[in-house]
């Protein structure tokens, strides 16, 4: 008799647990990376991301997907201390206090994101640059501006960094 109650309790717990993982929206279909690298990028208060490939935009406040088409324009609102986003699909900004994630659905060499204004190492001005992986846009509480992070696997990171930083006279094995 007690064994049946315990078995029913375990089955009920597993059923609830399965439902929780099945219906949680925030991480559904998001790429996961082995040995993830998180790179902070310096951007102005307003900038654009142009994804190519299979991505989805997620509002971090509620974990829901945001429909978009084309480029995504992000801006920081000082009055609400929030990040706003708009695309070619909608002309008005959607705001989030915790920010947005542009997630790769699955890691692929066909996925990339162009950041139209980013300050690369050693540069005095902003330039356009292409990145692999997912992007996270949050409010930087310290200096009240947007904070952009590029999240990707170590192999994709090295594919992007090594060709730019390696010296031509180095042996190919380097």
Q: How far apart are CA 144 and CA 142, in angstroms?
A: 6
In a domain, 149, yes or no: yes
In a domain, 30, yes or no: no
**CA neighbor of 119 nearest in space, from 60, 33, 40:** 40
**CA neighbor of 83 nearest in space, from 73, 71, 70, 69:** 73
Q: How many domains does the chain have?
A: 1
pLDDT tens across the length of the chain (174 residues)? 554 553 444 434 444 333 333 333 444 456 677 788 899 999 999 999 999 999 999 999 999 999 999 999 999 998 889 999 999 888 899 999 999 999 999 888 899 999 999 988 777 889 999 999 999 999 987 877 899 999 988 887 787 766 566 666 777 766
In a domain, 4, yes or no: no
SS3 content of the chain, % helix, strand, coil (to 5): 20, 40, 40
In a domain, 43, yes or no: yes
In a domain, 95, yes or no: yes
Report if pTM > 0.75: no
In a domain, 44, yes or no: yes
In a domain, 160, yes or no: yes
Could you tell me if 119 and 43 are in contact, meaning their C-beta atoms sit under 8 angstroms apart?
Answer: yes
Domain membership of residue 61 as a residue range: 36-165
In a domain, 27, yes or no: no
């Amino acid at each position: 008799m007690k064994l049946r109650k315990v078995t029913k309790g375990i089955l009920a717990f597993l059923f609830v647990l399965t439902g929780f993982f099945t219906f949680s929206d925030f991480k559904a279909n998001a790429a996961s990376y082995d040995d993830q690298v998180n790179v902070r990028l310096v951007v102005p208060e307003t900038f654009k991301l142009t994804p190519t490939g299979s991505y989805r935009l997620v509002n971090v406040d509620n974990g829901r997907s945001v429909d978009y088409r084309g480029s995504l324009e992000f801006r920081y609102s000082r009055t609400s201390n929030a990040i706003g986003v708009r695309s070619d699909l909608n002309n008005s900004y959607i705001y989030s206090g915790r920010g947005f994630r542009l997630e790769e659905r699955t890691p692929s060499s066909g996925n990339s994101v162009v950041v139209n204004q980013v300050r690369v190492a050693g540069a005095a001005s902003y330039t356009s640059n292409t990145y692999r992986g997912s992007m996270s846009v949050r409010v930087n509480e310290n200096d009240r501006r947007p904070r952009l992070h590029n999240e990707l696997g170590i192999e994709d990171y090295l594919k992007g960094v090594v060709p730019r930083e390696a010296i031509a006279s180095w042996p190919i094995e380097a």
